[in-house]
A and B are shown apart, each in its own frame.
Chain A
Amino acid sequence: MFQLVTQIAEAAAEIRRSWNVRPAAGIILGTGLGNLAKEIQAEAVLAYEEIPHFVRSTATGHKGQLVCGRIGETAVVTMEGRFHRYEGYSLEQITLPVRVMQALGIELLVISNASGGLQPYYLPGDILVIEDHVNLMGANPLVGVNDSRLGPRFPDMSRPYDRALVERSLAIARRENFVAHRGVYAAVSGPNYETRAEYRFLRRIGADVIGMSTVPEVIVAAQVGLRVLALSVITNVCLPDAVAKTDGESVVAAARAAEHKMRRLVLAILAEEERANCRQDSGCNGTSSRAEFRLSEESTAS
């Protein structure tokens, strides 16, 4: 893991060459949610191939570029398309972008994904605000020699998801009048969808939704001390006694149909964060904020 520090620095330096802003938040857009990137006033767009040590996005509905810019007043760095274990990447590779975004300065990580609902009263298109997770991927991104410069050897997981952000997301959903649940996300490596017996197992052990991403990123975010908000679009409901066939295209279509809800949640959360930061910062007059904070290297790089 000792080479990670170098890899992070090299990737961050490459991004700073095109965009020398300290972002307040990082966003990872999952299956079918790439359009959310259109909300960003892009200041720089980097294909993953252009960033050292980033792997390529091969999954359906994932574009594979880093969009840097602003949502409202907030400087954000957004991954349009993420990496998955089922693509054959190691969890260390998958989670490298989280470490890079942290190196760029983010304090908040917003993650979205598409998932299968295990609760019989969930409906396709519902949003689930992830409150906790179960890692059933059979792997962990922190396995290996620990580099204590990156974080602790045994990170605590008693509260990986920021409780205040969970509450606020649910409040926003009520205000905007759409259904959002809070619940437990179970991560499997995939790529096959689950059998009926597996759905029963997952439900019995306390999972509310099932998916193939997010948990590796959250484990790394917890290790490096980021606040995390993770939102899941329930694209299909997996009822083992009446299971319907699932395919990638219908999942992507269902995620797109629910995208407006996700967009409203993310925009509202970022706006609230921005206001909160403004209040904290006594010198703030409404236009300057932490989002405007520029890195000291800016003058040399531009």
Chain B
Amino acid sequence: MLHLAAQIEEAASTIRARWDVVPRAGLILGTGLGPLARQIEEHASWDYADIPHFPVSTATSHRGRLIAGMLSGVPVLAMEGRVHGYEGYPLDQVTFPVRVMKALGIELLILTNAGGGLNPQFANGDIMVIEDHINLMGANPLIGINDERLGPRFPDMSCPYDPELIKRGLELARQADIVAHRGVFVAVMGPNLETRAEYRFLRLIGADVVGMSTVPEVIVAVHAGLKVMAFSIVTDMCLPDALHPVCVEEIVAVANRTEPKLRTLINGILADLSSSVRSGAAERGAAGKHH
């Protein structure tokens, strides 16, 4: 992992060369959530292929573009499309962009994904604010020699998702009359969808939604000391006793239909952020008053 710090710096300086703003939030937009990217007042953008060491996305409906600009009054970096473990990338590569966004100065990472609903109370098109996760990917992005400059050897996972942001996300949903749950996301490697026996297993161990992403990025974000908020769109219900074959086009269609709801929530969270002072700056300001 010791080479990572140098790679991060190379990627970050490529971005700084064209966009010399310190972003406050990073967004990782999953399946079907591209439209949010178009709302950004764009200052600059890069194909992943043009950023050193960035992995290139091959997944269905993922574009592979980093956008820098303003959203809801906040300077943001948005990843339109992400790479996944099932594409064959090691997880330290999958999570590399999180490290780069951290190096550029983000405080908050917002992630979205499309997932299969395991909790029978959920319905297609509902949103789940991720409260906690279970990593069943059979891999971890932090495996290897730890570079203390990037984070601790044994990061705590008692609270990876910011509780205040979860509360606020659910409140924003109520105000906008959007159905949003809080729940547990379980990450598997994929790429095949699960068998009925596997859905029963996942439900039994406490998962509400299953997906093939997000958890590696969250682990790295926690390692790097970022605040995290993550949303799942429930794109198909995985009820093992009434399971129908699912098609990817349908999943993408539900994600596209639900995207406006998620946009409302993310805009609300970012608007809060814009009216708050950057945490470092706030401390400095408070110190100034004392003197």
Contact = CB atoms under 8 A, between A and B. Distances in A.
Interface of A: 1, 132-135, 137-140, 142-146, 152-160, 184, 204-207, 219, 222-223
Contacts of B243: 158
B281 interface: no
B74 interface: no
Contacts of A159: 245
Q: Does more than half of chain B's interface fall in helix, strand or loop, or is it mixed? A: loop
A158 B194 CA distance: 7
B60 interface: yes
Interface residues on B, range: 20 to 34
| Residue from B86, B244, B245, B248 with most neighbouring chain A CB atoms (10 Å) | B86
B177 to A, nearest CB: 32
A128 B60 CA distance: 38
Nearest to A140: B189
B192 A158 contact: no
A210 to B, nearest CB: 13
9 contacts: A132-B196, A133-B195, A134-B195, A139-B138, A143-B86, A144-B86, A156-B193, A157-B194, A158-B195
B61 to A, nearest CB: 11
A159 B197 CA distance: 10
4 A-B pairs closest in CB distance: A138-B138, A144-B88, A132-B197, A205-B201
A204 to B, nearest CB: 7
Contacts of B248: 152-154
B273 to A, nearest CB: 34
Interface string B50-86: 0000000011100000000000000000000000011
A206 B197 contact: yes
A140 B193 contact: no
B190 interface: yes
Interface of B: 58-60, 85-88, 138-139, 189-198, 200-201, 204-205, 243-248
B217 to A, nearest CB: 18
B246 A134 contact: no
A224 B194 CA distance: 16
Contact of B198 (A134, A152, A204): A134
Nearest to B192: A155
Contacts of B244: 158
B86 A157 contact: no
B191 A135 contact: no
B197 A143 contact: no
A206 B197 CA distance: 7
Contacts of A134: 195, 197-198, 201
A158 B247 CA distance: 11
A147 B88 CA distance: 13
| Residue from A144, A158, A204 with most neighbouring chain B CB atoms (10 Å) | A158
A120 to B, nearest CB: 19
A138 B246 CA distance: 23
B191 A154 contact: yes
Q: Does more than half of chain A's interface fall in helix, strand or loop, or is it mixed? A: loop
Contact of B200 (A153, A206, A219): A206
A87 to B, nearest CB: 18
B251 to A, nearest CB: 8
B88 A158 contact: no
B201 A140 contact: no
A204 B138 CA distance: 20
Given A146-B191, A154-B193, A156-B247, 19 more contacts: A133-B198, A134-B195, A142-B86, A143-B86, A145-B58, A145-B87, A153-B191, A154-B191, A154-B248, A156-B193, A156-B245, A157-B192, A158-B243, A158-B244, A158-B246, A159-B245, A184-B197, A206-B204, A207-B197
Contacts of A206: 197, 200-201, 204
Contacts of A140: 86, 189-192
Contact of B189 (A132, A139, A160, A184): A139
Contacts of B193: 154-158
A206 B248 CA distance: 27
B58 A143 contact: no
A153 B195 contact: no
Given A142-B86, A143-B88, A156 B204 contact: no
A142 B88 CA distance: 9
A252 B200 CA distance: 32
Contact of B205 (A153, A158, A205): A205
A200 B262 CA distance: 41
B198 A142 contact: no
A302 B194 CA distance: 44
Contacts of B190: 140, 142-143, 154
B179 to A, nearest CB: 25
A184 B204 CA distance: 15
A153 B197 contact: no
B57 to A, nearest CB: 11
A160 B200 contact: no
B205 to A, nearest CB: 7
Contact of B88 (A132, A137, A145, A157): A145
A158 B189 CA distance: 17
A154 B245 CA distance: 11
Contacts of A1: 88
Contacts of A145: 58, 87-88
Contacts of B189: 139-140, 143
Contacts of A157: 192-195, 198
A204 B204 contact: yes
